């Protein structure tokens, strides 16, 4: 239980972490074997306290550990923000084009 609290507090402090780094750090800090740390992480994953995320873009792929469950809901909100930003950018570009046209008309 102490090991699980140590793992959770590390993730709260530092955020998403490569599983290998978390295992190394936790083993050194708690004077446990790496196998004990791996078992604790797996236990926490099964209980739903931790989540593993595979980063396929790395070569070789890496496994990250996080406290928060990844969800698509966060991306939906992000898409709305991006859409609003695009609309704002379009509006700014139209205003700039209008201002540039007025300057050209004044100073031919």
What does 16-45 look like in DSSP terms, one character per residue?
SEEHHHHHHHHHHHHT--HHHHHHHHHHHH
Count: domains in the chain: 2
| H or E, element range at 104 | helix 73-106
Residues 38 and 79 in one domain: no
What pLDDT shows up at residue 71? 57
What is the reported pTM? 0.61
What pLDDT shows up at residue 19? 93
| pLDDT string in tens for the chain (108-residue length) | 788 888 888 888 888 899 999 999 999 988 889 999 999 999 999 998 899 988 888 788 899 999 876 655 555 666 677 788 888 888 999 999 999 999 998 887
Residues 30 and 79 in one domain: no
Q: What is the DSSP letter of 67?
A: S
State which residues form the domain around 45: 2-66
What pLDDT shows up at residue 6? 87
Please check whether residue 66 is in contact with residue 53, taking contact to mean a CB–CB distance below 8 angstroms: yes
């Amino acid at each position: 239980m102490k090991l699980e609290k140590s793992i959770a507090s590390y993730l709260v402090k530092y955020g998403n972490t490569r599983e290998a780094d978390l295992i190394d750090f936790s083993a050194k800090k708690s004077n446990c074997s790496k196998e004990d740390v791996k078992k604790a992480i797996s236990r926490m994953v099964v209980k739903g306290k931790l989540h593993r995320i595979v980063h396929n873009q790395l070569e070789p792929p890496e496994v990250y550990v996080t406290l928060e469950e990844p969800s698509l809901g966060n991306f939906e909100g992000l898409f709305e923000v991006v859409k609003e930003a695009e609309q704002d950018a379009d509006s700014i570009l139209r205003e700039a084009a209008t201002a540039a046209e007025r300057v050209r008309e004044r100073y031919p």
